[in-house]
A and B are shown apart, each in its own frame.
Chain A
Amino acid sequence: MRQWQHIIPSGAIAALGLWVCYVSFTQKPTQAFLFPRLISSVFVILALWTFGRALLGLSRAGTGIGRTMFLNILPGLLVAAVYIFWAAEALGFYSGSALAFFTLLSLYDPASHGEVKSWVRRIVITAGFILVMYLLFAKLLSVFTPRGLFF
Chain B
Amino acid sequence: MEFIYYFGEVFTPISFMLLVGGTIGGLILGATPGLSPTMAVALLIPFTFRLEPAHGLILLGAAYTSTVAGGAVSAILLKIPGAPANIATTLDGHTMATQGRGAEALQLSFLSSAAGGVFGVLLLIFLTPMLAKWALAFGPSHLFWLAILGVTVIGTLDTNSVVKGLLSGCMGMWLATIGFDDIMGAQRFIVHPSLAGGISIVPALIGLFAIPQVLAMFARGRQPVGSDVIAVQKHPIGKAMREMTRRWRALGIGTAIGSIIGLIPGIGGQIAGLVAYDQAKKFSSERQNFGKGHSEGVIAAESANNAMVGPSLVPLLTLSVPGSPTAAVLLGGLLIHGIFPGSDLFDNHPDVAWTFINSMLIGQVLMCIFGLYVAGLAARVAQVPQYVMAAVVLGLAVFGSYSVQNSMGDVYVMAALGIGMFFLERFGFTAAPLVLGLILGPIAEANFTQGSMIADATDGRFSYFFGGTLNIVLILIVIASVAYLAWMEVLQRRQDRADQANEAKA
Name A residues whose Cβ lies closer than 8 Å to a Cβ of B: 5-6, 9-10, 13, 16, 20, 23, 27-29, 31-36, 38-40, 42-43, 46-47, 49-50, 53, 59-65, 68-69, 72-73, 75-77, 80-81, 83-85, 88-89, 93, 97, 100-101, 104-105, 107-110, 125, 129, 133, 136-137, 141, 143-146
Residues of B174-209 whose CB lies within 8 A of A: 174, 177, 181, 183-186, 188-189
Pick out which of these stretches binds chain A: B84-92, B108-116, B244-252, B392-400.
B392-400
Smallest beta-carbon distance A148→chain B, Å: 11
Which residues in B have their C-beta under 8 angstroms from that of A16?
171
Number of residues on chain B facing chain A (CB within 8 A)? 68
Tell me, in angstroms, the Cα distance from A65 to B163 when the chains sit together.
21
Which residues in A have their C-beta under 8 angstroms from that of B236?
none
- Asked if B188 and A125 make an inter-chain contact with CB atoms under 8 angstroms apart, the answer reads no
Instruction: Name which of A29, A32, A146 has the most chain B CB atoms within 10 A of its CB.
Output: A32
Pick the residue among A20, A73, A84, A109 that contacts B415 (CB under 8 A): A84
Smallest beta-carbon distance B27→chain A, Å: 19
Instruction: Name which of B385, B395, B445 has the most chain A CB atoms within 10 A of its CB.
Output: B395
Q: Is B220 an interface residue, CB under 8 A from the partner?
A: yes
Tell me, in angstroms, the Cα distance from A40 to B173 when the chains sit together.
9
0 or 1 for each of B404-427: is its CB under 8 Å from A? (1 = yes):
001010011001000100011111
Pick the residue among B49, B163, B186 that contacts A32 (CB under 8 A): B186
Pick the residue among B402, B419, B424, B448 that contacts A77 (CB under 8 A): B419
- Asked if A38 and B448 make an inter-chain contact with CB atoms under 8 angstroms apart, the answer reads yes
- Asked if A143 and B406 make an inter-chain contact with CB atoms under 8 angstroms apart, the answer reads yes
- Asked if B222 and A110 make an inter-chain contact with CB atoms under 8 angstroms apart, the answer reads yes
0 or 1 for each of B307-342: is its CB under 8 Å from A? (1 = yes):
000000000000000000000000000000000000
Which residues in A have their C-beta under 8 angstroms from that of B426?
62-65
Which residues in B have their C-beta under 8 angstroms from that of A144?
406
20 contacts between A and B (CB under 8 A): A6-B427, A20-B189, A32-B183, A32-B185, A35-B177, A38-B448, A40-B174, A47-B167, A59-B428, A60-B161, A69-B219, A72-B218, A80-B415, A84-B398, A84-B411, A101-B395, A104-B394, A133-B399, A141-B403, A144-B406
- Asked if A32 and B184 make an inter-chain contact with CB atoms under 8 angstroms apart, the answer reads yes
